[in-house]
């Protein structure tokens, strides 16, 4: 009997391939040019960036890039393990993936909120946004929107999976 996955290919590729790739590229970019990454995070309206980053800022920037890369890698390993080792129990597979996706969705929403909040009066002045800020915001949406879609069941056949799991439980 062939089993289908509770993680359709689109979601698997989005969160186990695309997201880790983005986070790892962000990590590498930060390691290669931390000053540029720092300076490009927001428009410099009333002042210009300093010529050198303070050590605490540099450490914080590297730590943030490391955490982002780590989250991307965790996605890959958890989703791959769920598909491989829980293929026999789609209900459990979905519960494990939900346990991963829920805090990540909260993180997506808070990331967007904090980014907009941090921009202050410039938040709606899109012409002042840096290319890095646009990239961060748009790429954030390319992860948040599919995560919302996953949570509401788009393309997951979630009801059929739950119904099948309940039917299996009744037949035991």
> How remote is the C-alpha of 53 from its chain's centroid?
27
Given a contact cutoff of 8 angstroms between Cβ atoms, the answer to whether 137 and 54 are in contact is: no
The pLDDT value recorded for residue 16 is: 96
**Reported confidence tier of residue 80, pLDDT bands at 50, 70, 90:** very high
Give domain limits for the chain.
9-171
Residue 54 has pLDDT above 50, yes or no: yes
Nearest to 101 by CA among 137, 154, 63: 154
Position 64 pLDDT exceeds 60: yes
- Find out whether 7 and 79 touch, Cβ atoms under 8 Å: yes
Strand extents, DSSP E, the chain: none
Query: What pLDDT is recorded for position 50?
Result: 79
Q: What does the pLDDT look like over 9-47, one tens digit per residue?
A: 999 999 999 999 999 999 999 999 999 899 888 887 677
Q: What average pLDDT does this structure show over 46-74?
A: 90
Give the span between the Cα atoms of 73 and 4, in whole angstroms. 24
Mean pLDDT value across residues 89-109: 93
Q: Please list, in sequence order, all residues whose beta carbon lies within 8 angstroms of the beta carbon of residue 122, skipping any fewer than 6 positions away.
A: 42, 43, 45, 128, 129
Residue 57 or residue 166, greater confidence:
57
What span, in angstroms and rounded, lies between the C-alpha atoms of 143 and 162? 25
Q: How far apart, in whole angstroms, are the C-alpha atoms of residue 102 and residue 147?
A: 9
Rounded (10°) CA dihedral 147, 32, 65, 150 = 10
Q: How far is CA 47 from the centre of its chain?
A: 32
The pLDDT assigned to 150 comes to: 93
The pLDDT assigned to 41 comes to 86
Question: Are the C-beta atoms of 93 and 86 separated by less than 8 Å?
Answer: yes
Stretch 127-153: mean pLDDT: 93
């Amino acid at each position: 009997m062939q089993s289908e996955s509770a993680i359709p290919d689109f979601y698997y590729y989005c969160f186990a391939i695309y997201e880790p790739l983005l986070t790892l590229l962000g990590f590498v970019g930060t390691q290669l040019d931390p000053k540029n990454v720092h300076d490009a995070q927001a428009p410099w309206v009333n002042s210009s960036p300093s010529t050198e980053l303070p050590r605490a800022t540099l450490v914080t920037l590297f730590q943030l890039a490391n955490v982002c890369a780590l989250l991307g890698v965790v996605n890959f390993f958890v989703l791959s393990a769920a598909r491989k080792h829980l293929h026999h129990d789609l209900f459990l597979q979905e519960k494990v993936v939900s346990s991963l996706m829920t805090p990540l969705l909260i993180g997506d929403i808070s990331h967007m909120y904090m980014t907009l909040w941090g921009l202050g009066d410039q938040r709606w002045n899109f012409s002042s946004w840096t290319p890095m800020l646009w990239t961060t915001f748009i790429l954030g949406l390319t992860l948040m929107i599919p995560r919302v879609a996953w949570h509401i069941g788009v393309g997951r056949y979630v009801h059929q999976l739950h119904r099948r799991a309940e039917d299996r439980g009744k037949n035991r």
